[in-house]
Amino acid sequence: MLVDSSQCCGCGSCAASCPESCITMEYDSEGFRYPHVDPAPCIHCRACEKTCPVMNPPSPADSPKAIAAQNQDGHIRASSSSGGIFFALAENTIRSGGLVCAAVYDEDFSVTHILADTLQDVARQQGAKYPQSSVEHCFAEIRRALRSGTPVMFVGTPCQTAGLRAFLGRDDANLLLVDMICHGVVSPKVWARYLDERQLLDAGKAPVTSVNLRSKATGWSHYQYSVSINYANGASYQACQSKDPLMQGFTLNLYLRRSCSQCVFKGTKRCADLTLGDYWGIWDQNPEFDDNQGTSLLLIHTPKGQEAWDTISGQFRFLETTYQEAVSRNLSAAASSVPHGARDKFFRNLDREKSMIQWITQCLGGGKLGLIQRIRNRLGV
């Protein structure tokens, strides 16, 4: 028996663990992937139940150590969403002969996890991509790598990290688990349709060459980051996140996965050694530290996480804060996102609407949006 679909986080651990391959991940009408079970070959071993992180959620732990950090290499920080901790951890793993499992854009700009063994692939993994990534195809490969003594660093949403941990069934000295403060994930279908429409508006038929949902060209402090898209014909699109329809719908929870509204991996209920996030509010807490280029929030949960931080901390300008201070302006650290009032209507009519951009704007209530966005930004949600 699998968890109710409203709670299923889509990590795919059940599919990856089924010894008879009875479970496949299939898209629903909202564009999220859910397990589909073929009952005929099922041998009732219950591996799917045992490895479901939602059915076996982590317990709360002590408050972690909290750090505000900036990578001192300006190029690395510019191409990272926050302060560039991911790249430093990943570089260290690759130089030790290990593998880094994290999310990239595919050729068609859908989001998927890959195992990287080069810094070129790590560069593709940099940067937050808000559509939900598919990940379970990497789980068996990670287990094989660990069994052969290869170090692996895994980075994913808290539910994906818990899914991998449940799939593996035990900790491994060679495995570094890194999750993030997570607002929720966007429907891959909404993302694909948004990008198709953007392309048509901005560049006609010219292919998209790059996407950055966390560009710092317009700054980082006070949530001033922007969406930036480039096309093969030299055209480009850039809009501050508060003006971009996709990011407006994301921050106002119009098309997050249903389970994101009842996430069981919030606060200190995590399976990770480290948690990464943006140190939102650093400009008020410690104005002299903020330089508008991005500051990471790092939470250290385990001795293994501390060891990983000790190895890279020399590359950072950092200061220790407290857990309470660090998450006080980052509500997603401890609370699930409350679905937008028009969420159900949005998805009900999605396939009938011709313009994704207009439909998002209409569901968000047009002109009232700017005000709501500013209030939410101030509250850090």
Ligand X SMILES: Cc1cc2nc3c(=O)[nH]c(=O)nc-3n(C[C@H](O)[C@H](O)[C@H](O)COP(=O)(O)OP(=O)(O)OC[C@H]3O[C@@H](n4cnc5c(N)ncnc54)[C@H](O)[C@@H]3O)c2cc1C
Binding residues for ligand X, rule: CB under 6 A, are 80-87, 102-103, 111, 125-130, 133, 155-157, 180-183, 185, 276-278, 296-297, 330, 332
Q: Report which of 257, 270, 251, 276 is spatially closest to residue 360, judged by C-alpha positions.
A: 251
In angstroms, what is the minimal distance from the CB of 96 to ligand X? Answer: 17
In angstroms, what is the minimal distance from the CB of 71 to ligand X? Answer: 8
In angstroms, what is the minimal distance from the CB of 369 to ligand X? Answer: 19
Nearer to ligand X, 203 or 326 (CB): 326
Nearer to ligand X, 22 or 276 (CB): 276
Nearer to ligand X, 116 or 364 (CB): 116
Q: Which DSSP string do the residues of 286-328 spell out, in sequence order?
A: -TTT--SS--EEEEE-SHHHHHHHHHHGGGEEEEEE-HHHHHT
CB contact at 8 A, 132 and 186: yes
Q: Which two tokens stand for residue 114?
A: 């890959």
Nearer to ligand X, 111 or 115 (CB): 111
Nearer to ligand X, 93 or 157 (CB): 157
In angstroms, what is the minimal distance from the CB of 124 to ligand X? Answer: 8
Q: Which residues contact 242 (CB under 8 A, 6 or more apart)?
A: 223, 248, 370, 373, 374, 377
Nearer to ligand X, 58 or 184 (CB): 184
In angstroms, what is the minimal distance from the CB of 300 to ligand X? Answer: 14
Nearer to ligand X, 116 or 239 (CB): 116
Nearer to ligand X, 200 or 375 (CB): 375
Q: Report which of 161, 347, 178, 334 is spatially closest to residue 258, judged by C-alpha positions.
A: 347
In angstroms, what is the minimal distance from the CB of 82 to ligand X? Answer: 4
CA angle, residues 313, 314, 318, in degrees to nearest 5? 60
In angstroms, what is the minimal distance from the CB of 279 to ligand X? Answer: 8
Buried b (16+ CB within 10 A) or exposed e, 179-215: bbbbbbbbbbbbbbbbbebbbeebbeeeebeebbbbb
Query: How far apart are alpha carbons 381 and 376 in whole angstroms?
Result: 5
Q: What helix, strand, coil percent values describe the chain, rounded to 5?
A: 35, 20, 45
DSSP classification of residue 59? P
In angstroms, what is the minimal distance from the CB of 175 to ligand X? Answer: 15
CB contact at 8 A, 345 and 279: no
Q: Cβ of 149: how many Cβ atoms within 10 Å? A: 10
